[in-house]
Amino acid sequence: MIFEDFRNYCLAKNGVTEDYPFKGEAVWMKVSGKMFALANVEELKMGVEKVPPFHFINLKCDPEKAIELREKHPAIQPGWHQSKKHWNSVYMDGSLNDNLIRELIDHAYDIVVAGMSKKTQEELKNG
């Protein structure tokens, strides 16, 4: 998956907006103001090494599912600079197919929406 596919897939969901809070270094995908995904869009320093743009995406995840995914897929790790319990970093190294990545994005979106008021959920459902 390339960045534009990730971006377009997220933005096609009801109520989703994008935000670039760190001078364009990363994009936050939010539904009704609540973040469900983020990605680096510029070169980023991780520890002592630099990583290229769109090296990883962080996705909200159910804690039990997060552990299962990490055990099954080496490209899925605890969320970088996020709560390790509720976020996964999905490394875009080509080892995960686009369908799985879309499923993970859907899961992240659904978790955040499920935590919203019934009224907001209904508004999002109706577009």
| Band of residue 15 on the pLDDT scale cut at 50, 70, 90 | very high
Q: Provide the domain count of the chain.
A: 1
CB atoms within 10 A of CB 92: 21
Q: What is the DSSP letter of 86?
A: T
Whether 44 contacts 51, CB under 8 Å: yes
- What pLDDT sits at residue 48? 64
Domain of 46 in residue numbering reads as 3-125
**What's the chain's Rg over C-alpha atoms?**
14
Question: Per residue in 24-33, pLDDT tens?
Answer: 788 999 999 9
Average pLDDT, the chain: 91
Q: 30-55, pLDDT tens digit by residue?
A: 999 999 999 988 776 666 677 667 88
- Report the 10 Å Cβ neighbour count for 77: 17
**Pick the residue with more confidence: 107 or 40?**
107
Q: What is the pLDDT of residues 67-76, one digit of tens each?
A: 999 999 999 9
Start-end of H helices in the chain: 3-11, 63-72, 98-114, 118-125
pLDDT of residue 41: 83
The pLDDT of residue 80 is above 70? yes
Can you give the pLDDT at residue 79?
Answer: 84
Report the CATH number that the domain containing residue 81 is assigned in CATH.
3.90.1150.30
